[in-house]
Structure 1
Amino acid sequence: MFDGHCMPVVSCRYNKARDLLATGDLQGDLMIWDMRQPKIPANSFKEAHKGRISGMSWCPWQPDLLATGNTRHQPTLKFWNLLTGLKSRERRVSHEVTSVQWLESEQELISSHKSTPEAIVFWNYPSLERCGTLTNDDDETNSTGLVSVKKSYQMIATSEESDSIYVWDLEQTRESMTSHRGQPSTVLSRRRSLIQLGLMR
């Protein structure tokens, strides 16, 4: 039984390399638990975000680095260095963050967002400059939820409020991306492949 959060925990992510568990709650508190001594948090960040911590992801090539994002109050991407126990950097974003995921092959962070045509945003790390987006093909502004990355094939899958899964082929779409000194690249379009959950292979 862990003792640390005062509000319901809404996100968590395990760090296999360090045997650590990160947890975030409704009021924005972030806790890091050493699973070898889990009774009290190894690190505690009170009000790490303003409001619900909606996404978190450990960096695969820098295992002491954790990325987090929040919804509603001042949506922000934040990065925590567990070696120092301090926030290393942050980036304000315009729409609520629903999830974050590292893209190891490009050393970028992917963030998904709510109520915006820009479903997915790619961020260079450590500069935190936008280097690409994936957008809806229509004018609807759906919420993009869970993001999963298939490393070997450079594909990501996202879920939306329509109860469908969208598969994005980064091998094809990245060919149209051209970065100009950190400025946003060419907008990428979604591949119109709707795969129902039970049929995905």
Structure 2
Amino acid sequence: MDSSRKIKYRSPLQEQFLPRKRNRENLDRFIPNRAAMDLDYANYMVTGGRKGKENSVVSSPSSEAYRKLLDETFNMNRPRILTFKEKPPTPVEAIPRRLLSPPPHNAKSAKPRRQIPQGSERTLDAPGIVDDFYLNVLDWSSNNVLAIALGNTVYLWSASDASVEELVTVDDEVGPVTSISWAPDGQHVAVGLNNSNVQLWDSISVKLLRVLRDGHQQRVGSLAWNKHILTTGGGDSRIIDNDLRVRSHIVETYIGHHQEVCGLKWSASGQQLASGGNDNLLFIWDRSAISSTSSHQWLHRLQNHSAAVKALAWCPFQGNLLASGGGEGDQCIKFWNAHTGSCLNSVETGSQVCGLVWSKNERELLSSHGFSQNHLVLWKYPSMVRMAELSGHTSRILCMTQSPDGCAVATAAADETLRFWNVFGIPEVAKPPREESSMPFVDYCIR
């Protein structure tokens, strides 16, 4: 025998008291679950069963009969005697999900996906419109009447019956008309002129009610209403508040711009005024911050744009949110927190931004553009994803205004066309225009 392979023998005492090698496998202890065991069947299989039958040499007829009876009584296909866990319960058919969650509220009245028309609904000729980016010669009244200036003449177009009426034609010495803005009552309209004057007209009686003089030294290219206050912006960089209830109408002057003011917009609350100029500056003015002794109390002076700021729009669903657009050298839409003056976002559009309009029914923003696309872009806010691009104009869009119900916009372009776009769709419930009491313009009118 090979000495290297000697077999060691241990006595029973050594086998009993010598320590065993501890393996990880010996540390586990399995305890059967007796509640799940069939003890009668286990006893039968241990003491007799099929293996006992095979091992028996002599068996009596009575024991064979008893074993046969046990075979019939117990199921011989049982897999094992010991059971370490209970059998899993029989799976129950899952309850359909539609029965677990209640149906969504007003599911049958879910709003369908809006189809945005890619073309204009109507196109009108606008011969003689002045091709000047800094002017604002288009506005839509709360009474659904559109006013547009074509050279020296102001026309009124009724959206209800498509009738056209001439409001006024000014002389060449004072013209052309450089700005138009409807009063909140939808009856009176302000007309800014190239000679620095502002005329106030009654559109129903077609009468001149008042002329505002001595406010500006150059043309008035922008106008904005705040109840009975008419704010004017001129080529002389001045912004003036005119109270039309009194004879001495100049009540406040805002000094901050150093070039022509081409954009003016009051917030919905009437407390903040946004102004943009050809000096690439954007100002936010607060009426409560303006004192009687100083006219230089702007709230924020913002110089992030690199071109003229004409396009301005206050957000209808967030009072402190202001959108502004830059000219050809900037081509950006910027969003501002009017309280802090911080720039929230800036979006490159690829074209000169001429106008901005918020949707009254959805979180959407519409922008109109000049060089080089001359189109309109509908943006989803706040993601600023382009929802649609509307083409039709062949030259830059000079002005854009929104219908009183908020569904459509009108655009006037240098291609001498006036186009109407049903871009915002039809609201679920159209709100009637807010009624405003007539203002006492006739007290100091010029006969």
* Same fold flag (TM > 0.5): yes
Q: Aligned partners of 1:23, 1:153: CA distance in 2, in Å?
A: 23
**Structure 1 163/103 Cα, relative in aligned 2: closer, same or farther at 3 Å?**
same
Q: Is the 8 A contact 1:9 1:23 kept in 2?
A: yes
The structure 2 residue matched to 1:81, chosen from 337, 343, 347, is 337
The structure 2 residue matched to 1:157, chosen from 410, 424, 439, is 410
Unaligned runs of 5+ in 1: 174-201
What's the CA shift for 1:126? 0.5
Paired position in structure 2 for 1:17: 269
The structure 2 residue matched to 1:169, chosen from 412, 416, 422, is 422
Query: Match for 1:121: what amino acid?
Result: V
Paired position in structure 2 for 1:144: 397
The structure 2 residue matched to 1:68, chosen from 313, 319, 324, is 324
Q: Is the 8 A contact 1:158 1:166 kept in 2?
A: yes
The DSSP-based 3-state class of the residue aligned with 1:130 is: strand
Q: Deviations over 1:155-175 (max 9, x none)?
A: 1111111333211123779xx
Query: Match for 1:168: what amino acid?
Result: W
**Structure 1 153/92 Cα, relative in aligned 2: closer, same or farther at 3 Å?**
closer
Q: Which has the larger radius of gyration?
A: 2
Write out the 4+ residue segments of structure 1 that deviate beyond 3 Å after TM superposition.
115-118, 170-173
Paired position in structure 1 for 2:256: 4
Paired position in structure 2 for 1:41: 298
TM-score (norm. length: structure 1): 0.77
**Structure 1 159/6 Cα, relative in aligned 2: closer, same or farther at 3 Å?**
same
Unaligned runs of 5+ in 2: 1-252, 427-447
Q: Aligned partners of 1:79, 1:31: CA distance in 2, in Å?
A: 13
Q: Is the 8 A contact 1:118 1:133 kept in 2?
A: no
Q: Is the 8 A contact 1:145 1:159 kept in 2?
A: yes
Q: Aligned partners of 1:171, 1:55: CA distance in 2, in Å?
A: 19
Q: Aligned partners of 1:149, 1:115: CA distance in 2, in Å?
A: 22
Higher strand residue share = 1
**Structure 1 113/42 Cα, relative in aligned 2: closer, same or farther at 3 Å?**
same
Q: Aligned partners of 1:142, 1:171: CA distance in 2, in Å?
A: 23
Query: Match for 2:278: what amino acid?
Result: L
Q: Is the 8 A contact 2:283 2:298 kept in 1?
A: yes
> How much is the aligned-residue C-alpha RMSD, in angstroms?
2.1
Q: Is the 8 A contact 2:332 2:348 kept in 1?
A: yes
Query: Match for 2:377: what amino acid?
Result: V
Higher helix residue share = 2
In the comparison of the two structures, how many residue pairs are matched?
169
Q: Deviations over 1:37-60 (max 9, x none)?
A: 332101111x22001012010001
The DSSP-based 3-state class of the residue aligned with 1:42 is: strand
Paired position in structure 1 for 2:358: 102
TM-score (norm. length: structure 2): 0.36
**Structure 1 109/157 Cα, relative in aligned 2: closer, same or farther at 3 Å?**
same
Paired position in structure 2 for 1:125: 381
**Structure 1 59/143 Cα, relative in aligned 2: closer, same or farther at 3 Å?**
same
Q: Aligned partners of 1:10, 1:64: CA distance in 2, in Å?
A: 22
Q: Is the 8 A contact 1:100 1:111 kept in 2?
A: yes
Q: Aligned partners of 2:391, 2:334: CA distance in 1, in Å?
A: 23
Query: Match for 1:84: what amino acid?
Result: T
Q: Aligned partners of 1:97, 1:2: CA distance in 2, in Å?
A: 25
**Structure 1 56/8 Cα, relative in aligned 2: closer, same or farther at 3 Å?**
same
